[in-house]
Structure formats: C-alpha cells, structure tokens
C-alpha cells in the first residue's frame, strides 16, 4: 500500500465528515464506529453509509492522478461508478448545506472549489 499524503488524508476526513452528517441527518439505524484512515477519531455510520465510505476511501487511495489531483467534480477521469457518483453528489450537496448552516465555514472552500 502506498503512503498516505496529507492531501489524501484531508480528502478522506472531509468525505467521512460529510457522510457522517448525511447518516445522522437521515436518521439511519444501527450506527457503529468506523475507523478513518489518517485520523484517530472514528465516525458513527450505519452499515449502508459505512459501505459507501469504505468505497470512497478505496477510490481515493487508488486515484491515478495523485500528483496533480483536482477536486473530484473537476477531474477528467471518474473513479466512481455512476451510481456511487450520484450518491456522493447527494451526500456532498445535502451535508454541505447543513455544515454551512451550523457554522462550519472551513468547509465552504471545499464545497465550492
């Protein structure tokens, strides 16, 4: 396995936080702690959201454009399957708005860029 860069760890933490807000906001049952690579704080996710998060982490770790990594929505290749790409769009849009309303202005940069 390749070493985790700072940018990779940050991207994984961001998608993890967005997924956790999505899972809590949609009141999914059976939430369990899920470890986050590059972080010591586990997320509380239901099995469905945990599966999606593991998929997102795997795809981020195997990104072929690591040296010149743009944001995923601006990337010239798409690592996610179409169904998962739609899911991440929903999660990022829904969770991003909730985080901004809660005062998480540090995610404003990631939300628009």
Q: How confident is the model over 22-60, as pLDDT tens digits? A: 999 888 888 899 998 877 889 999 999 999 999 999 998
Adjacent-strand bridge partners of 94: none
CA pseudo-torsion sign 11, 106, 23, 90: negative
Residues 64, 91: Cα–Cα separation, whole Å: 23
- CB burial of 76-88 (b: ≥16 within 10 Å; e: otherwise) equals eeebbeeeeeebb
pTM summary value: 0.82
């Amino acid at each position: 396995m390749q070493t985790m860069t700072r940018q990779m760890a940050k991207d994984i933490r961001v998608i993890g936080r967005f997924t956790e807000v999505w899972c809590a906001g949609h009141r999914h049952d059976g939430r369990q702690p899920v470890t986050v690579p590059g972080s010591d704080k586990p997320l509380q996710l239901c099995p469905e959201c945990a599966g999606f998060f593991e998929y997102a982490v795997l795809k981020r770790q195997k990104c072929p454009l690591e040296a010149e990594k743009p944001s995923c929505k601006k990337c010239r290749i798409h690592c996610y399957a179409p169904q998962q790409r739609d899911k991440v769009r929903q999660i990022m849009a829904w969770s991003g708005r909730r985080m901004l309303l809660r005062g998480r202005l540090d995610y404003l940069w990631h939300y628009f860029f």
